[in-house]
Amino acid sequence: MIAAETRARRGRDVRTRYTAEDIGVLTEDEGRRLLTGGTGDPRADLDLAWELLYRLEPELYDRLVTVERIHPGVIGWLPDNVERIVEVAAGTGRLTLELVERAREVVAIEPAAPLREILARKLAGGGHAHRVRVTDGFFDALPLPDECADMVVACSALTSAPRHGGRAGLAEMERVCRPGGRVVIVWPNDVRWLAAHGFRHVCFEGEMFVEFASREEAAELIEIFYPHAIEQSHPRRRVSFEVIAR
């Protein structure tokens, strides 16, 4: 109760939810990677705020990705019936659960231990634990040998920033991918940067939207993650990406 009240006083949305006092949750290795080049203050560093969310409130993050569904065209476009798929920054399994039936083995790499725990529970509950290996690892140091995967994929995770992959992360994904395989970035945040590194941009038609379980959940999650969209969303259970992405 004390922790919940403290969090409420600090701020509702993800930009104000955490303070510099919270960075102690990071491991020494995580601190070296995530605090370098930043202010150390999550209120001035949105990327750091998200990293704290993953570690302090993983269930809240899981609620968000549950309503942010991947376009079915993306899933259908991915390779099928392959030997091994490696997913980097797998989180709580938004994409992982879609990959299970597409390969004989899926390796899900996730640096945040609380997210790995949620993913492992989901896989066990769905009877998929034997087909997915969940392991720790960062973009720039994937714990896998060269050319071991038919596809290496990251969903809404890799960016041009070094602490979220950058050039080193792309190089590692390419190292792990076998010749003739695919390196795939789902929901890229910088298409031009990826194009400059030889990637091809593929789009799919149809509306993209976030669909909440109830209006109450919509009101809560929009206030936390999309505060700029409160007035446009009203709130509704189904909200277009065009509204929340502004």
| pLDDT above 80 (res 70) | yes
Average confidence (pLDDT) over 137-152: 97
Q: What pLDDT does 90 receive?
A: 98
Quick: pLDDT tens for 82-127: 999 999 999 999 999 999 999 999 999 999 999 999 999 999 999 9
Q: Are 115 and 144 contacting, i.e. CB atoms less than 8 angstroms apart? A: no
Query: Can you tell me the distance from the alpha carbon of 50 to that of 53, in angstroms, rounded to the nearest whole number?
Result: 5
- Measured in degrees and rounded to the nearest 5, phi and psi for residue 178 equal -75, 160
Query: Can you tell me the distance from the alpha carbon of 53 to that of 209, in angstroms, rounded to the nearest whole number?
Result: 23
The Cα-based distances of 180 to 78, 162, 169, 174 in angstroms read 14, 26, 19, 11
| pLDDT above 70 (res 1) | no
12: Cβ contacts below 8 Å, ≥ 6 apart: 223, 224, 227
Q: What is the pTM of this model?
A: 0.92
| pLDDT above 50 (res 2) | no
Q: What percent of the chain has pLDDT over 90?
A: 81
| pLDDT above 80 (res 140) | yes
Lowest mean pLDDT of 59-63, 77-81, 191-195, 224-228, name the range: 224-228
Residue given tokens 């700029």 in the structure block: 228
Q: What pLDDT does 233 receive?
A: 64
Complete DSSP assignment for the chain: -HHHHHHHHH-SSTTTS--GGGGGGS-HHHHHHHSTTS-S-TTT-HHHHHHHHHHH-HHHHHHHHHHSPPPHHHHHHS--SEEEEEEES-TTSTTHHHHGGGEEEEEEE-S-HHHHHHHHHHHHHTT-TTTEEEE--BTTB-SS-TT-EEEEEEES--BSSGGGBHHHHHHHHHHHEEEEEEEEEES-S-HHHHHHTT-------S--EEE-SSHHHHHHHHHHH-GGGHHHHSS-SEEEHHHHT-
- Measured in degrees and rounded to the nearest 5, phi and psi for residue 95 equal -90, -35
The Cα-based distances of 236 to 207, 213, 222, 224 in angstroms read 16, 10, 10, 15
| pLDDT above 50 (res 234) | yes
Long-range pairs for 154-157 at CB < 8 Å and ≥24 separation?
A: 154/87, 154/88, 154/89, 154/184, 154/185, 154/186, 155/70, 155/87, 155/89, 155/91, 155/94, 155/95, 155/186, 155/187, 156/94, 156/186, 156/187, 157/88, 157/89, 157/91
